[in-house]
Structure 1
Amino acid sequence: MRLPIWSGVATLAVSLTLYPLFDGGAWLWGSLGAVLAVSAAGVLASRLTLPGWAAPLLGLVALGVYLTAAYAGDKAWVLVVPTKESAVALLKLLATGFADIQRYAAPVPDEPPIAMLTTAGVGLIAIVVDLFVTRLRRAALAGLPLLALFTVPAAVLPDPIGWPAFILGALGFTSLLIADGRERVGHWGRAVLVRRSRAADEGVQESADTRGLRLSGKRIGFTAIALAVLLPALLPTLEPDPLFGFGVGGSGKGRGNSISIPDQVADLRGRLQLPENNTVLSYTSSDDTPRYLRIYSLDVFDGRRWTMNELKGRPENRVDQGPLPPPPGLASSMKTTRVETDIQVSEDITPLQFLPLPYPPQLVRAEGDWRADVDSLMVFSSGDVAGGLRYQVVSTEPEASADQLDAAPKTVDPAVAERYLKLPDLPPQIRQLAQRVVKDSKSPYEAAVNLQRFFTTTGGFTYSLATQGHDTDALRSFLEQTRAGYCEQFASAMAVLARSIGIPARVAIGYTGGTKIEGRWEVRTHDSHAWPELYFEGVGWLAFEPTPAGSAGQGTARVPDYSLPRPAETTPSSDPSTSAADGGDTPSSAPNSRDRLRELDPEGIYSGSVTPVETAPLWVTIALAVAGLLVILLIPALVRLVIRNRRVRTLTWKVSGPSDEVTARAEKVDASVAAAWAELDDVLCDYGMARVPSETPRALARRLTQQHEFGAEPAAAISTIASAVERLLFARDPGEIAPMRRELRTVRRALAATVSRTRRVRAALLPPSTLLRIRGLGEKILDGFDRLENIRLWNRAARRNT
């Protein structure tokens, strides 16, 4: 009868690890109801002694009734009995829930479809756990479905699982195993050869006594849980984070190599559709010029949407290590402009793990573990958020003229081409359209300008948020029919067309430059924007602006000067790279070079935060972990040393005269003679010569003297200690008792001489006397749990007699 209840308790305890996945608590109350329904069905099946195969079916019926009452009661008969309409409503909720979890990133909104999907999943796990535990009597195998439930947040979330949630789940599973063992042994009678607590002895026995077994199970379970939580904090890890977010490799905040990235396109459209236009950040720049602040760089188009490759934020690419990695494609000979930007992010912004930055950033001063992706120069963190953060950026923007871009090589680096020219199968009409738009172009740069002009001027496109879809069919419809969309569709379309004609392209998402208010540029929610970035060899990535100018909600979008068509009278320079000579041609002069820290930061405003710091090698981490482990192992020795020193200090007390008889027994026995006797007792325990409980002090002195053949001085010393103890315990007038510090030292040396060196080392490093005290403390704690467990609201025996 108890096993179905404990199965439900274990399932509910493990399900608590799901809490970081949701923004709300409806899923928890729904899951609680589902577990209660399944547990009630299990208890009923046990009471009716139904066959094993029937219990899961009864659990499914109970779960179905509960889901109907909770989520489709208005379409059920008498609110609980399922009908065809209620079944259809539940199926629609399930389908909506599956679609929502694909759209949202954690934490997901706690809406009815998602809450119902979670409730049904937890209920099914509860049925499987009850099947293993109660019907098949394989409680250990119940850990498999519980582990599957536990791994959901571990696989989805970037942050480590909170150790309190892990402990609750582990305690639930441990309690289930203890209950199963108790049920098994209870059929055989009284458990023997196990320790029983005093609290258990006071209880009334109605069935086989398994409390001692339960106590042993608690010891094993609690020890395993403690080791699972504490050991990762002591051992070195190859990843930046252990499981629970603290230890040698972590910082307690869950920083790691993984990061949760929301659907950037859906998130962008949602921000543009918000009725409120709140300030998300403000900034100032050294040239007082607005510029785009990029957050995401999307470089993968699968035919349905744009996404990004796996981020590469190595420890050496932390922003506090110095200049960021070099901007891809930017030649050392290209002249650049240095711009300093001070950015203040609003505290009310939704959780954001990327920093809005002007491209390309070269120095970033920000508190926290922020790292730069090597390929895209996105700056991100897996443990910190941008909300409320103030940071400074030094960017080095290439001064690329139209002539220089026109003279850029038509062939690009093979690695860049392989990654940024990749396209899925496209309708031939899309490629044909791109060829028609750029048919008169003489260079990739001119083709890019013509593509931008097609969207902004000659193509007849308009701005509208009332659009649906991002796949190739929607792209074709946008380019050929509707020609109405918002910034993301313009950016995506231009990037696809650019790739189709051989220009590497990607999509950037972030904010436009905003509006200047009282000396600072303010960026608001409706300044959210998407734009394409195109790659030119020797210059790197440049932003283009295909969204029509003056669009509602995109009024702060600006077309870059280099992307404007050249006036007709302008003739190309015979030497388009003359301005490049100022930049030098040595690798050390590249804007990304760490040797140029002083050049990038002449005022020294970053000197306090970007001084290069050597990353600790692995052997240093291992050495620190071993040192920490040794310190923990030496705790018993340190405790023993403290206790010995405290006793030795009390050995100078004296007890004399009949007038001191009462105080000698009540106080000074503990302060002087008892200290010497207790220290002698611990020394004997540490050296494996433990005193027999029935042995008197005189008998102990005689046995040790004869057994170890003490000389005259050690024999006299131990006799003095034994005589002092007996006089204080039994004599009416103990007389004067001299300090016994010298006698105790003599006896300890004599005993040490009789044992091996290994025994002496063990007594110093892992003294058994201290280990026994630690064990006794643990037993008292476990006894306290037993006393709590034996608390009853009324007496069973009295209830039975009535």
Structure 2
Amino acid sequence: MRLTIASGVAAFTAAILLYPLFQGGAWFWTSLGAVLAVVAAGLVSSRLSLPAWAAPLLGVAATWIYLTVAFTAEQAWALLVPTKESVVELARLVTVGWADIQRFAAPVPDTEGITLLTAGGVALIAIAVDLLAARARRAALAGLPLLALATVPATILADPISWPAFIVAALGFVSLLIADGRERVGHWGRAVLVRRTRAATSPAPRGSADTSGLRLSGKRIGFAAIALAVSLPALLPAMEPVSFFTFGVGGRGSGPGNSISIPNPIAGLRGQLDLPEQRTVLTYTNNDDTPRYLRIYALDTFDGQQFGMTQPKGAPQNRTENGLLPAPPGLSQKPKVNSVITNIQISDEIAGLQFLPLPYPPREIRVDGDWRADVDTLMVFSTREEAGGIEYEVQTTEPEPTPDLLDELELAPRPATDDRFLDLPDNLSPEIRVLANEIVGGASTNYEAAVKIQEFFTKTGGFSYTLRTQGHSNSALRDFLIRDRAGYCEQFAASMAVLARLVGIPSRVAIGYTGGTKIGDRWQVSTSDSHSWPELYFEGVGWLPFEPTPSGAAGQGSARAPEYSLPRPTATASTTAPTPGATSSSADEPQDPAARRNPRELDREGTVAAGGLPPDDSMPLIGKIGIGAAALLLVLLIPAGMRLVSRNRRVRSLGFKVAQPADDLTARIVSGRGAGSVVAAVWAELDDVLCDYGMARQSSETARALARRLTQQYEFDADSAAAMAAIASAVERVLFAKDPGPIEPMKKDLRAVRQALAATVSRGRRVRAVLLPPSTLRRLRFLGERLLDGFDLLENIRLRRTAAQKGG
């Protein structure tokens, strides 16, 4: 019963390591109840003397009943007994909890589903610990499931595990080991001590076994292990956490650090457009000094009333610090691609923004913090950082399509597009469907249809820009397109995206900022530059922005339609098509190229021309891997290096003193001086050679007996036998003769004996003797035992009162 309770304590103390993953404390108390249920089941199993295999089954049943009471009591019979309804509800909560785990980033809210999964997982760990420790009597192996609990926060969180929580968990495991030791000794098991102590040799009370010596050894080992576990990681390089569970981001979370906070983009856009005064949002420069749309959100779902955003997912491999972002969807090698580098500075007044305003499509970003890219949309976001006040640099690879290229790509077979970019509600007004067909009538390609739809809003449809209208309902969309034809950028963008979907063009709505106004050497983007525009998908070039909002509108003066989205010119023009997403502005007047150059780009002109970011001073990944492998190899070769050094010192007979004598005989030889130093070096080296080859000398074996045994057992030839006899004779003279006389150089004798011994063992044994010599490991073990002996002082420390204190 003691082991069952200790197993529960160890499991729960290990579960404390999970606390950084949660916001509230519901998981803590629920997990405690689950562990108590498992402990109760274990006590019943011990009381009834059930077989070992039955205890886990009883533990699972107790956990099931506990979870039923805690989460689905209303569906259970008598609030306790599981029913079909309670099982279905538990399954639903498990599904919801798993979805929440994928959706939120740590620390997650303790929802019912997440709490259920946590309590159930901790209970399973407790069952496994009880099975190994109390049933199979393998308490040491019980550390493996406990380690699984520590692995979860270690692989999810960037911060290291809290050392106080680790110490609590380690003490729980040590208490389990101590309980197992006392259980064994209590049943007259054999106590194996590191060394004997007075407490271990003193008589024990009648009828009980003395466990004090074992307890001292257990404390010694436990404290040493905990101290090393806490201090050793500080000497090791930090490792990148890898999330085995792909903790993503969520929807509307409760704040930074929980999930990505996604405000209503439409409401935020309308609020910024309605502000009575302009405020600077950001400034930027780029190497071609051309204004560009800066996208923040990509809205891809339409419910009939307004566009919404699918929750972005950012895997660890898509962090901006890892280098290139995922490739832009749909972009092939056919269109010409411009590489542009943009430096962006966000205003300090911006608060709560966890997405980066970026030109599309970004390929590489240099920014401080944990920022990640969504694979589908290339939105860049963070679950921990905010964009306010930061500065970052982004490289974009912008396609430069032409009408002819878009028509050509239209003829190629198109792969299936995600359905969400074409989905429309069934109750969409038939009048809107008829209007879409009327607008694109006569268009032979999707590109031509897209141009006609944009021209409908900007020229032929008679639309006007105003902020007075609002509404997102189905009827509001119909009124905007058919009757009122007045609105602001959100209505224009959403309406064009809907019409594009009606004619089979995948579309989405982007929200961000237009290119802003040139002030000095930087482009300045203010709140009045908030904008929304549609993005349409064309296989081969990917997502392209269009501009249905009428130009020249108040507050939208920097909004301009890309060149490729305009109707084909009737005459050949000498102008060059601008980069997609680039805008022109009245503020962008012709200037001297030298005056328009960003000073920060002067020292990296060659890099920009090559289409890449400035050289990264950090070491490439392959270099880091190589250094890590070399460091690991050096660590593994430490024993071999120590062995090589000791052998060279001994062979040179430089008065070597053995660091840790193997036994009394070696110690007596080493204690000699003068001629005995040579014999000491030879004897110590011979002792290590025997240990490395698995032929260790018996502690009671004399030098002559050892020479006789080795010569006969391994059938030495005449030279090897004479060399071994010479070494044994020299040892006896140093030990027993009053005057040992001159000692001849014994280097050749030692080499002959070593070669004779090596010839009797396998090649694998010889390789091990060189790379991982047991003699060196033996010395390291002796050093560890001395270190552990130091913990004995903890048992002998007593506070003594001084005479002054006694008199006081």
TM-score range (shorter-chain normalised) is 0.5 to 0.7
**Distance change in 2, residues 1:159/1:363 (3 Å):** closer
* Cross-structure match for 1:419: 418
Q: CA RMSD in A?
A: 7.0
* Cross-structure match for 1:359: 360
Q: 1:665: Cα distance to partner?
A: 3.5
Q: Deviations over 1:55-93 (max 9, x none)?
A: 9999999999999xxxxxxxxxxxxxxxxxxxxxxxxxx
- Taking the aligned partners of 1:204 and 1:197, their CA distance within structure 2 comes to 17
Report if aligned partners of 1:505, 1:535 keep a CA contact under 8 Å in 2: yes
Instruction: Give runs of aligned pairs for residues 588-603 of structure 1, distance below 5 A.
Output: 603=609
**Distance change in 2, residues 1:767/1:291 (3 Å):** same
* Cross-structure match for 2:400: 398
Q: 1:678: Cα distance to partner?
A: 1.1
* Cross-structure match for 1:343: 344
| Residue type of the alignment partner of 2:189 | A
| Residue type of the alignment partner of 1:479 | L
In the alignment, structure 1 segments of 5+ residues that lack a partner are: 68-93, 234-245, 468-473, 584-597, 655-661, 795-802
Report if aligned partners of 1:544, 1:559 keep a CA contact under 8 Å in 2: no
| Residue type of the alignment partner of 2:699 | P
**Distance change in 2, residues 1:301/1:125 (3 Å):** same
- Taking the aligned partners of 2:552 and 2:577, their CA distance within structure 1 comes to 38
* Cross-structure match for 2:671: 665
Q: Deviations over 1:698-732 (max 9, x none)?
A: 33334445555656654554444434444444455
**Distance change in 2, residues 1:712/1:101 (3 Å):** closer
2:757 to 751, 772, 775: 751
**Distance change in 2, residues 1:351/1:742 (3 Å):** farther
* Cross-structure match for 1:267: 262
- Taking the aligned partners of 2:202 and 2:283, their CA distance within structure 1 comes to 69
**Distance change in 2, residues 1:411/1:701 (3 Å):** closer
* Cross-structure match for 1:543: 545
1:450 paired to 2:441:
no
1:306 paired to 2:309:
yes
**What secondary structure, in the 3-state scheme, does the structure 2 residue paired with 1:701 have?**
helix
* Cross-structure match for 2:804: none
Instruction: Give runs of aligned pairs for residues 151-190 of structure 1, distance below 5 A.
Output: 157=156, 178=177, 185=184, 189-190=187-188
- Taking the aligned partners of 1:689 and 1:530, their CA distance within structure 2 comes to 82
**Distance change in 2, residues 1:62/1:305 (3 Å):** same
Report if aligned partners of 1:284, 1:520 keep a CA contact under 8 Å in 2: yes
* Cross-structure match for 1:532: 534
1:559 paired to 2:559:
yes
| Residue type of the alignment partner of 2:561 | D
**What secondary structure, in the 3-state scheme, does the structure 1 residue paired with 2:418 have?**
helix
**Distance change in 2, residues 1:744/1:399 (3 Å):** closer
Q: 1:396: Cα distance to partner?
A: 3.9
**Distance change in 2, residues 1:149/1:768 (3 Å):** closer
* Cross-structure match for 1:637: 640
Report if aligned partners of 2:102, 2:249 keep a CA contact under 8 Å in 1: no
Q: 1:312: Cα distance to partner?
A: 11
Instruction: Give runs of aligned pairs for residues 124-203 of structure 1, distance below 5 A.
Output: 157=156, 178=177, 185=184, 189-192=187-190, 198=196, 201=200
Q: Deviations over 1:411-443 (max 9, x none)?
A: 576536633675446133346435436734443
| Residue type of the alignment partner of 2:359 | P
The sequence identity of aligned pairs, in percent, is: 40
* Cross-structure match for 2:477: 479
Instruction: Give runs of aligned pairs for residues 194-593 of structure 1, distance below 5 A.
Output: 198=196, 201=200, 252=240, 254=242, 260-263=248-251, 267-269=262-264, 272=268, 282-294=283-295, 297=298, 299=300, 305-307=308-310, 328=330, 332=334, 339-344=340-345, 356-361=357-362, 390-393=392-395, 395-396=397-398, 398=400, 404=403, 408=407, 414-415=413-414, 418-419=417-418, 422-424=421-423, 426-430=425-429, 432-433=431-432, 435-436=434-435, 439-442=438-441, 443-450=449-456, 457=463, 462=468, 476=474, 479=477, 494-513=496-515, 519-521=521-523, 531-535=533-537, 541-544=543-546, 558-562=558-562, 573-574=569-570
2:684 to 650, 658, 678: 678
Report if aligned partners of 1:724, 1:737 keep a CA contact under 8 Å in 2: yes
**What secondary structure, in the 3-state scheme, does the structure 1 residue paired with 2:690 have?**
helix
- Taking the aligned partners of 2:489 and 2:209, their CA distance within structure 1 comes to 74
**Distance change in 2, residues 1:440/1:610 (3 Å):** same
Q: 1:47: Cα distance to partner?
A: 9.9
Report if aligned partners of 1:31, 1:119 keep a CA contact under 8 Å in 2: yes
- Taking the aligned partners of 2:613 and 2:201, their CA distance within structure 1 comes to 70
**Distance change in 2, residues 1:65/1:312 (3 Å):** closer
Report if aligned partners of 1:341, 1:392 keep a CA contact under 8 Å in 2: yes
- Taking the aligned partners of 1:165 and 1:121, their CA distance within structure 2 comes to 25
| Residue type of the alignment partner of 1:749 | Q
- Taking the aligned partners of 2:18 and 2:160, their CA distance within structure 1 comes to 9
Report if aligned partners of 2:18, 2:152 keep a CA contact under 8 Å in 1: yes
| Residue type of the alignment partner of 1:358 | P
- Taking the aligned partners of 2:129 and 2:715, their CA distance within structure 1 comes to 62
1:648 paired to 2:648:
no
Q: Deviations over 1:210-250 (max 9, x none)?
A: 88799899999x99xx99xx9xx9xxxxxxxxxxxx99xx9
**What secondary structure, in the 3-state scheme, does the structure 1 residue paired with 2:504 have?**
coil
- Taking the aligned partners of 1:665 and 1:714, their CA distance within structure 2 comes to 28
**What secondary structure, in the 3-state scheme, does the structure 2 residue paired with 1:418 have?**
coil
* Cross-structure match for 1:586: none
Report if aligned partners of 1:272, 1:528 keep a CA contact under 8 Å in 2: no
| Residue type of the alignment partner of 2:545 | A
* Cross-structure match for 2:74: none
- Taking the aligned partners of 1:527 and 1:329, their CA distance within structure 2 comes to 28
- Taking the aligned partners of 2:317 and 2:145, their CA distance within structure 1 comes to 36
Q: 1:679: Cα distance to partner?
A: 0.7
- Taking the aligned partners of 2:647 and 2:605, their CA distance within structure 1 comes to 63
Q: Deviations over 1:85-114 (max 9, x none)?
A: xxxxxxxxx99x98995897313476xx65
- Taking the aligned partners of 1:278 and 1:209, their CA distance within structure 2 comes to 79
Instruction: Give runs of aligned pairs for residues 631-780 of structure 1, distance below 5 A.
Output: 635-651=638-654, 665=671, 672-705=678-711, 714-715=720-721, 717-731=723-737, 734=740, 736-737=742-743, 739-753=745-759, 755=761, 759-776=765-782
Q: 1:683: Cα distance to partner?
A: 1.4
**Distance change in 2, residues 1:327/1:38 (3 Å):** closer
Deviates more, 1:519-528 or 1:741-750: 519-528
| Residue type of the alignment partner of 1:267 | I
- Taking the aligned partners of 2:60 and 2:420, their CA distance within structure 1 comes to 54
**What secondary structure, in the 3-state scheme, does the structure 2 residue paired with 1:307 have?**
coil
**Distance change in 2, residues 1:529/1:182 (3 Å):** farther
**Distance change in 2, residues 1:493/1:371 (3 Å):** same
In the alignment, structure 2 segments of 5+ residues that lack a partner are: 49-54, 72-92, 253-259, 442-448, 580-603, 658-667, 800-808
**Distance change in 2, residues 1:34/1:633 (3 Å):** same
Deviates more, 1:640-649 or 1:11-20: 11-20
Deviates more, 1:98-107 or 1:685-694: 98-107
Q: Deviations over 1:341-394 (max 9, x none)?
A: 233568999999986432245777789999988876667999999895642525
